Amino acid sequence: MGLALRLFSSRSIENSPVIQTPFVEETTDVDDEKPVPDQNVDFRKITPPKGKCDLFTGDWIPNPSGPIYTNESCHVVEPHQNCMKNGRPDSGYLYWRWKPRECEIPRFDAKKFLELMRNKQWAFIGDSIQRNNVQSLLCILSKVEEGVMVYHDEKYSSKRWLFPSYNFTLAVIWSPFLVEAATFEDINGVSTADIQLHLDKLDHTWVDQYQSIDYMIFSGGKWFFKTAIYYENDKVVGCHYCPGQNLTELGFVYAYRKALELVYNYIVTSNHKGVIFFRMLTPDHFENGEWFSGGTCTQTVPYKDGESKLNDIDVVLRDIELEEFKKAEALASKNKVNLKLFDTTYLSLLRPDGHPGPYRHFHPFAKDKNAKVQNDCLHWCLPGPIDSWSDLLMEMVVNG
């Protein structure tokens, strides 16, 4: 399986060689060399109002009770994230919980959540990490009631589930660019043409449903590393990594900022009466290489504060996200649109132990203990660290 993802060498962020990834709908920021960590990343550029707890600054602490669900009790865990079934030998990564330093947050209460969401609709809009998050939430809610799939698109990229007893709908809407995009890749990630990206047109996949959804979580980012031709006013204005095509190299920074500006302008002027979250980027944890050069993630315990830093490309993406959110936040408040930042970057950075690694494959070392297999150091095992994101979401919904 695979999608064509083309990324940079560390020589240049905006104009550089590219490579392809084999993961279906699963992207990572891959360089010929590991980016030099930024030693001065400030994870608190946006601070909570005085008297409010900063939910996103904290530590992972031992949790002897373990996860709410298991890989056997939940039926929506996809094979490549079912780490225990795939033979992962250790289980310590299951016994941690996120603890903000300034407050306690309760564990996710599935029954309370479903009661609060009676007759409501939720949607996670973005890429495969959003899908990962939705599956986690479905597993947690299944302890009270299992969602019934009531819709899927042709490729099963966008899906919707109904919880009949509560008339609650939960959806994942596949929109990795958030703006209109034409892609030309088959199921194996073989591309016959470059992506055509319209930076001045929103993706109708989510726009058409926008006003009917009570709670939304947007995210974006790493898909913009792909080779793409950029359009504005239906005319080609440039590209990202398109050698030999006589086009202006604008780069992913230009495109991502333009896309976020468009998305936020739509949101803050929409008169939407629900709650809208923007989730910050999720870092990967490839070590000793990348996916294409034998990169692995073999850690079995969380990092402590200060033990890991974002790489330079993630810093660039995060800065764009923060800058555009700050601008949108002021307008949203003025227009009485409820826009919130869901900043999972730091707590995710501290969990190198929570990825499938080689166990995205079924028993990868059963026949050969020295087998060379591709590692997934971006997505999360289920159960796993991503389950804690629901604790934070519920706290933000219940207590603002």
Annotated catalytic residue: which of 16, 128, 308, 388?
128
119: Cβ–Cβ under 8 A, 6 or more apart, which residues? Answer: 166, 167, 168
Supply 221's token pair.
């980012």
| 379 tagged catalytic | yes
| 388 tagged catalytic | no
Query: What gap in Å lies between CA 113 and CA 226, rounded to an integer?
Result: 37
In single-letter form, the type of residue at position 219 comes to S
In single-letter form, the type of residue at position 229 comes to I
Of 283, 367, 374, give the one whose Cα is nearest residue 80: 374
Q: Do β-strands 275-279 and 58-62 pair in parallel, antiparallel, or remain unpaired?
A: unpaired
Task: Please measure the distance between the N-terminal and C-terminal CA atoms of the chain and give it in whole angstroms.
Answer: 40
Cβ neighbour number for residue 249 with a 10 Å cutoff: 16
Query: What gap in Å lies between CA 25 and CA 261, rounded to an integer?
Result: 24
306 and 36 Cβ atoms separated by less than 8 Å: no
Cβ neighbour number for residue 271 with a 10 Å cutoff: 9
Of 125, 134, 94, 108, give the one whose Cα is nearest residue 351: 94
Strand runs (DSSP E) across 33-138, as ranges?
58-62, 96-100, 121-126
**φ and ψ at residue 329, rounded to 5 degrees:** -60, -40
153: Cβ–Cβ under 8 A, 6 or more apart, which residues? Answer: 159, 174
Annotated catalytic residue: which of 240, 285, 361, 379?
379
SS3 131: helix
Annotated catalytic residue: which of 376, 387, 388, 391?
376
For 288-314, the DSSP string reads SS-GGGT-B----SPPPTTS----HHH
Positions marked active-site: 128, 376, 379
